[in-house]
């Protein structure tokens, strides 16, 4: 597609439920990132995928969070047993190369998660 596509755009769930957020990166982009942005806050790195390499999971806040990516295509971020503190906008981004080389992340519109 022309840009990074994320779904759902909005998700309201009850505390304790599991949620899945999906990201479809720009075609040809080998790197895919998930960031979280709480209200009024900056972007918090969650996880990074590069091609078929092992993902960098160093930003995942707890074992309730997990993410998968098949090859260089779609990624799914799963949050199990959601808590109210998980409420945030989850942003997916992709880049053509490692950002330390080119630096340009292309962001999707985000998935706004509200945990009641």
Binding region for other proteins (CB under 8 A) = 31, 33, 35, 41-45, 48, 50, 56, 91, 98-101, 103-105, 107-110
Min dist CB 83 to other proteins, Å, is: 22
d(CA 7, CA 56): 22
CA 22, 25, 30, 31 torsion-angle sign? negative
Q: What is the CA radius of gyration of the chain?
A: 13
Decide whether 40 or 71 has the Cβ nearer to other proteins.
40
Nearest CB to other proteins, comparing residues 26 and 80: 26
Nearer to other proteins, 20 or 106 (CB): 106
Q: Is 55 exposed, middle or buried (0-12, 13-18, 19+ CB in 10 A)?
A: middle
- Min dist CB 45 to other proteins, Å, is 6
**Which residues face 112 on adjacent strands?**
10, 89
Token couple for 81: 């047993």
| Minimum CB–partner distance for residue 63 and other proteins (Å) | 20
Q: Which is nearer to other proteins, 4 or 115 (CB)?
A: 4
Query: CB 81 → other proteins: shortest distance, Å?
Result: 27
What is residue 84's three-state secondary structure? helix
């Amino acid at each position: 597609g022309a840009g990074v596509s994320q779904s759902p755009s909005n998700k309201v769930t009850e505390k304790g439920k599991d949620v899945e957020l999906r990201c479809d990166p720009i075609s040809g982009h080998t790197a895919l990132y998930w960031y979280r942005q709480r209200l009024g806050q900056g972007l918090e790195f969650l996880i990074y995928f590069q091609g078929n390499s092992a993902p960098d999971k160093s930003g995942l806040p707890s074992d309730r969070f997990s993410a998968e990516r098949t090859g260089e295509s779609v990624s799914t971020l799963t949050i199990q047993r959601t808590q109210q503190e998980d409420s945030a906008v989850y942003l997916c981004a992709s880049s053509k190369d490692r950002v330390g080389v080119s630096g340009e992340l292309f962001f999707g519109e985000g998935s706004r998660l509200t945990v009641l």
